[in-house]
Amino acid sequence: MDTTTGKEISIDLGTTTTIVSYTKKKSGKLTQLKYSGEKLIPSVLFFRSESEWDIGKNALAGMAIHPLAGVANFKSHLSDPEYRYEMTAVNGDHFCLKPHEATKRFLMKIVKNMEDALLKEFGAMGGTIDRAVITVPAKFPVVAKGRTKKAARDCGLDVKLTSEPTAAATDYLQSYTEFDRPGAVIMVYDFGGGTFDVSIVQRQPNNLKEIATGGDNSLSGNLLTDRVVQYLIKRIEERYAIQFPKDADELDDLDSEEIDEYRSNMAEIWRNANHMKEILSGENESERDLQLIIKGKPKVFGAYLSREDFEDMIRPDINRTVDIVQQTLKKASEKGINRVDVVVMA
């Protein structure tokens, strides 16, 4: 492929949020590109039909109304060969979507939209985007890396993968230059939507060297949301004297209307649980009205959670991140690095 004519973008392809950047040739400065006016692009897809879809904040808004037409968290399922999304688009199209196909459809929109953005900025010089650097977690499974690459190649991109913590440290050093000196040791603590990564990197004369990494691909913001989901399910089951299916076998026993009811309730519970979790970062209490369908009838369930109860729920998860940090510090120490100059919370 001729890589000299097109442009290159960097994609922080997050489980929940994606950021796309472009390095300006003259200044060498990294600029974030917007999708639908936003730099933080929700990593979700929303299907009006099988062949017509949107991503980002508009997709997120659509999913709140038509949960069965939406896809979220596709990055988390990239290494699972069996995983399929059962889609019902707004127009009634039924189809299955594999996570790497969702990734490809997401990236297609990114590339098309960002080409338009570059065209606006540079006019005829905008050109096509034919290369991308995509960040992946330090502990991303090999098969998930392969599927990410394939999804990008299927969009016509020549792609390179790079480690998320190293990219975060590079980004940090551009703004906080006092640590941008050979020998400086940076710890990146990245508690993301889908993975937890910790990485100790050291600035070398010309690059960053990864000294030690640790992480857990199931410890994440989504896991904390799931803790709230489990709490809400319990309260809902008590209130309406019902039982949600506990596994795939129990789900199989439901008829198609009950499955649709269950899936739309779960989407409503998940969306609100996530919101309540985020509110509790700044407030001591959170309250939401959930629009549920119970045995075919609409019900409004008033959900409440205090910060204290939430912190009790997630304490073991947060303690686990502390254990992983300590193990990673030990690994670095075995390589002769016994100090950290700065901790970056990514």
Residues that bind ligand ATP (CB under 6 A): 14-17, 75, 192-195, 220-222, 274, 277-278, 281
Is residue 192 a contact residue for Mg ion (CB under 5 A)?
Answer: yes
Its sign, for the CA torsion 274, 286, 216, 214, is: positive
- Of 342, 310, 145, residue with least CA distance to 225: 310
Q: Which is nearer to ligand ATP, 99 or 192 (CB)?
A: 192
Q: Which is nearer to Mg ion, 42 or 192 (CB)?
A: 192
Q: How far is the CB of 291 from Mg ion (least distance, A)?
A: 30
Q: Which is nearer to Mg ion, 135 or 286 (CB)?
A: 135
Q: Which is nearer to ligand ATP, 157 or 273 (CB)?
A: 273
Max distance between CA atoms of the chain, in angstroms, equals: 65
State the Cα–Cα distance between residues 90 and 205, nearest whole angstrom. 54
State the Cα–Cα distance between residues 19 and 70, nearest whole angstrom. 20
Q: Which does 163 bind (CB under 5 to 8 A by kind): Mg ion, ligand ATP, none?
A: none
Its sign, for the CA torsion 268, 270, 274, 277, is: positive
Is residue 42 a contact residue for Mg ion (CB under 5 A)?
Answer: no
Is residue 70 a contact residue for Mg ion (CB under 5 A)?
Answer: no
Q: How far is the CB of 194 from ligand ATP (least distance, A)?
A: 4
Rounded to 5 degrees, what are φ and ψ at 161?
-100, 150
Give me the residue whose beta carbon is nearest to ligand ATP.
221
Is residue 14 a contact residue for Mg ion (CB under 5 A)?
Answer: yes
Q: Which is nearer to ligand ATP, 186 or 276 (CB)?
A: 276
Q: Which does 99 bind (CB under 5 to 8 A by kind): ligand ATP, Mg ion, none?
A: none
Q: How far is the CB of 346 from Mg ion (least distance, A)?
A: 7
State the Cα–Cα distance between residues 184 and 169, nearest whole angstrom. 11
State the Cα–Cα distance between residues 165 and 108, nearest whole angstrom. 25
State the Cα–Cα distance between residues 24 and 203, nearest whole angstrom. 23
Q: Which does 274 bind (CB under 5 to 8 A by kind): Mg ion, ligand ATP, none?
A: ligand ATP
State the Cα–Cα distance between residues 212 and 327, nearest whole angstrom. 9
Q: Which is nearer to ligand ATP, 168 or 184 (CB)?
A: 168
Q: How far is the CB of 60 from ligand ATP (least distance, A)?
A: 12
Q: How far is the CB of 50 from ligand ATP (least distance, A)?
A: 26
Q: Which is nearer to ligand ATP, 67 or 193 (CB)?
A: 193
Q: Which does 42 bind (CB under 5 to 8 A by kind): Mg ion, ligand ATP, none?
A: none
Tokens of residue 133, six digits: 């650097």
Q: Which does 70 bind (CB under 5 to 8 A by kind): Mg ion, ligand ATP, none?
A: none
Q: Which does 281 bind (CB under 5 to 8 A by kind): ligand ATP, Mg ion, none?
A: ligand ATP
Q: How far is CA 267 from CA 35, 67, 272, 344, in A?
A: 24, 6, 9, 33
Binding part of the chain for Mg ion, among 138-146, 168-176, 184-192, 337-345 by CB under 5 A, reads 184-192
Buried b (16+ CB within 10 A) or exposed e, 17-39: bbbbbbeeeeeeeeeebebeeee
Task: Report angle CA 185, 186, 187 to the nearest 5 degrees.
Answer: 130
- Of 185, 192, 219, 217, residue with least CA distance to 322: 219
Q: Which is nearer to ligand ATP, 89 or 225 (CB)?
A: 225
Which residues are near Mg ion by CB under 5 A? 14, 192
